[in-house]
Amino acid sequence: MNKPTDIIEQVSEPLPMKKALSTLQKMVLDHANAAGSVSEPYLQTFSIAVSSTDPLLWLHNQDLYPKFFWSNRKKDDLVAGIGTADVIEYDKTGPNNVSFDILQKELCKKNPGTRYFGGFCFNNEQKQDEQWRAFKSFTFVLPDIQLSVTDGTHTLSCHLMIEPGENSEVRYRRLLETIAKINSSTLRDIPPLPEINSRSFSPDKKQWIKTCNQILQRFQEGLMGKIILARQTLLEFNRGFSPLLFLLRYPFSESSTYRYYFEPEKNTAFFSFTPERLYRRKNNELLTEALAGTCSRETIDNGNGDACQQLLNSEKDIREHKFVKDTIVRELEPICSDIDMEERVRALQLNRLAHLYTQCRAELKPEASNDSAVLKTLHPTPAVGGVPKTKALEQIIQLEPFSRGWYAGPVGWISRNSAEFAVGIRSAVAKENMFYLYSGAGLVRGSNPESEWEEVDQKIADILAITRQKR
Ligand SMILES: C=C(O[C@H]1C=CC=C(C(=O)O)[C@@H]1O)C(=O)O
Ligand SMILES: [Mg+2]
């Protein structure tokens, strides 16, 4: 057998889904007959062009788990995946750096020429609330089957991982059974969401204001420069349903956000509509950014004002942004040979919000051209943590009345030489009929607790609007 990743591709005109599935089965079967044993992890990828299919609808029509979905901001890289050909996961409390190293080490062993999709919790030192149980400290999945859309080209692939000492025949048989379970129907029926029974906030507004004032006092004492405090909004629906409905109903065509979804068990999922990239790496080339400082259209001139202009003139938001920008540059210095952070701050217009935004390109030193080094350096930026970092992280655990789980953690994909991680904000974790929404706001000297409460409301407004759609 060849090593370590074999890519078996059938080059043909795009086939309709049903035909593509049966052709994939044939390709797998042909290789199953030549199977042998392996001395190191061996990965096979089979792929075939398939005719245009909406990956979210396709995912919605499947009844296999886990499920995931990824779309980058430009929407030229979409992937829907199901099942596990392989998983790299970890579930012990401890420093984030340990998690990053473990993922890196396991990935190196497999050296995959294809992508694993997953995420990390925000702070693995924190004991997590029950709704996060299925997500673990981190989970990265190589799916059995995936439908990807890259630059408009649709590809159906399946993966097969054989570990040393494993019976490869069993693996092939299992994969063939999984392909046989794929539903090729293109049903477009997207049911409305059920009714909401109750909604509650943690902390409530009174407690939020009290905590913010405590923090403002710390700023006065010169103990801290910035901290991001988050809120949890709990929605209780009158019955359980597929959280994927939130993605199917998200008005994404108008917004330049990532869309991330991971459903490890049926109806238990984490999803995020985040505008924020943590980084994109290709070999030693790194792209990252500072995104912090917010203005919502609704809050100026009844929605008629220019949120971008307002933001560029806001001294408090510029300062809030600068903490992130300066920290990124300072922390990248030891691991980069070249850093090019944009001088000028721009405003980025989203659906209802605008953010201050600066892009950064950097070249990683050879010894730091790996994702563990980059994750340790960048996560969490002061767009979700604070300054100084360690102090802010301690305060977050002490002051927030819930655990963050994967909220604000790195979510995305990783492979042998490249990776892309978004920051899992504007997110929710769903467990049957309970949906926990998370969002936060950066506090700096001069922040107004009431306005920060409203800023968080605006940040989850896109998700909440979906619950009000009638059909
Ligand atoms: C922490 C969040 O947003 C961050 C990203 C952009 C703007 C932010 C702000 O202006 O406070 C936050 O730092 C969140 O949405 O949960
Ligand atoms: Mg802000």
Is pLDDT above 70 for 4?
no
Task: Compute the distance between CA of residue 60 and CA of residue 80 in angstroms, rounded to an integer.
Answer: 10
Tell which one of 278, 355, 357, 452 to mutate to probe ligand 1, the residue whose CB is within 8 A of the most ligand atoms: 355
123, pLDDT greater than 80 = yes
Distance of CA 204 to the CA centre of its chain: 27
Compute, in angstroms, the gap from residue 310 CA to the centroid of ligand 2: 13
Q: Is 236 annotated as a binding residue?
A: no
Q: Which atom of ligand 1 is nearest to the CA of 441?
A: 11
Residues 131/105, Cβ–Cβ less than 8 Å: no
How far apart (Å, rounded) are the C-alpha atoms in residues 78 and 260?
10
Q: Which of 384, 458, 460, 464 to mutate for ligand 1's pocket (most ligand atoms within 8 Å of CB)?
A: 384
Q: Which tokens is 104 given?
A: 């890196």
| Cβ pair 387, 228 in contact under 8 A | no
- Per-residue pLDDT of 20-67, as tens digits, reads 999 999 999 998 877 677 888 889 999 999 999 999 999 999 999 999
Pocket test of ligand 1: the residue of 355, 459, 460, 463 to mutate, having most ligand atoms within 8 Å of its CB, is 459
What end-to-end distance do the CA atoms of the chain give, in Å? 52
Residue 391 bears catalytic tag = no
Respond yes or no: is residue 325 known to be catalytic. no
pLDDT of residue 102 exceeding 90, the answer is yes
Residue-level pLDDT at 303: 67
pLDDT reported for residue 104? 97
Distance CA 86, CA 106 (A): 11
CATH architecture, range 5-180: 4-Layer Sandwich (3.60)
Q: Under a CB-based contact definition with an 8 Å cutoff, are residues 293 and 322 in contact?
A: no
Task: State pTM to two decimals.
Answer: 0.97
| Gap between the Cα atoms of 444 and 456, Å rounded | 15
Phi, psi (5° rounding) for residue 104? -60, -45
Atom of ligand 1 nearest to the CA of 320: 10
The one catalytic residue in 110, 263, 276, 431 is 276
User: How large is the ipTM?
Assistant: 0.99
Ligand found nearest the CA of 233: 1
Residue-level pLDDT at 414: 98
Q: Torsion angle of alpha carbons 65, 28, 50, 58, nearest 10°?
A: -10
Determine whether the annotation assigns residue 455 to a binding site: yes
Task: Look at ligand 1, atom 4, and give the residue with the nearest C-alpha.
Answer: 383
Rounded to the nearest angstrom, the distance between the alpha carbon of 104 and the centre of ligand 2 is 33
State pLDDT tens for residues 90-100.
Answer: 999 999 999 99
Q: pLDDT over 90 for what percent of the chain? A: 85
Please state the atom number of ligand 1 nearest to the C-alpha of residue 439: 16
Ligand 1 pocket residue status of 355, Cβ below 6 Å: yes
CATH number of 196-468: 3.60.120.10
Q: Which position among 226, 376, 431, 459 bears the catalytic label?
A: 226
pLDDT over 50 (residue 70): yes
Position 40 scores a pLDDT of 86
Q: Do domains 5-180 and 196-468 have the same CATH topology?
A: yes
Query: In 10 A of CB 160, how many CB atoms?
Result: 24
pLDDT, position 1: 45
Return the domain boundaries, the chain.
5-180, 196-468
